[in-house]
Amino acid sequence: MRLGTVALTGAAGNIGSAVREALRSEARRLILLDRAPLRAEADNEDVRTVDLRDPAAVESALAGADQVLHLGGIPDEAPLADLLDVNVLGTQHVLEAARRTGIARVVLASSNRVTGFYPVGHLTTPQDPVRPDGLYGVSKAAVEALGRLYADKFGLSVICLRIGSFEPAPTEPRHLATWLSPRDAVGYVLAALTAPPIVRFATGYAVSANTRRFWATPDPAVLDYAPVDNAEPHAADIRDADLPADPSAPQAGPYARPEFTLPHLRP
């Protein structure tokens, strides 16, 4: 086993469920946290029902962990007050618990949506300034900023994964660029959890090796994982996949439209 005790927040979510089995076989002990009830499926699993908005409960649940994979939160567009409450404050509670209990590594689930307004013709890197495509993207930009603060000020080792379109298989034209396969998701997570301690802070796009991708894959010196899956073999099954992409269109696709965010603003 490469890992000691790993805490996984958002363990009942789509990505949490996908990486749970892999982490179970890599970690001596796996602490699973979620608001939804869970049941242990192996002897090395410890299940805890926790609301990330409760800092004392978060600290108690993370006690004894060596690393944290923080996937919990609201996963899509929502009113800003809700996103701040759950995504931003919830992340601060996780980072503060890590600081107080001496956890060495925190891996934060960020999102490609922090840079959704860059054009399709631009290869986007973590060095580019953030350009959120909505309120959810704003909350994830704040999550990254908190990670940077705790790395710079308190010495935590923090890695932010800007997660692509996590799906069993790509189902729409945009996915041909943005798809993150379950196998590659596991690969990125394990690479982030096992990155050398010298990596104090890093941000990287978690995306499969898609021929049409418009995000740079991480520097292997920082995140040593090379994605293996490619969305292109699925193109024949996707309607309009053969239409050329507009290089000036936002990478976020429909998420960049005003109507995607307007329902979540105050009337």
Residue spans of the chain under pLDDT 70: 1
- Amino acid letter, residue 246: D
| From 136, 188, 205, 225, the catalytic residue | 136
- Active site (annotated) includes residue 188: no
pTM of the entire structure?
Answer: 0.97
Q: Which pLDDT score, from 0 to 100, does residue 210 have? A: 98
Q: Which pLDDT score, from 0 to 100, does residue 123 have? A: 98
Checking phi first, is residue 73 left (phi over 0); if not, alpha (psi -120 to 50) or beta? left
**Contact (CB, 8 A) for 199 and 107:** no
Cα 36 from Cα 51, distance rounded (Å): 9
Q: Which pLDDT score, from 0 to 100, does residue 134 have? A: 98
- For 157-184, write each residue's pLDDT tens digit: 999 999 999 999 999 999 999 999 999 9
Q: Which pLDDT score, from 0 to 100, does residue 267 have? A: 72
Domains, the chain: 3-264 (3.40.50.720)
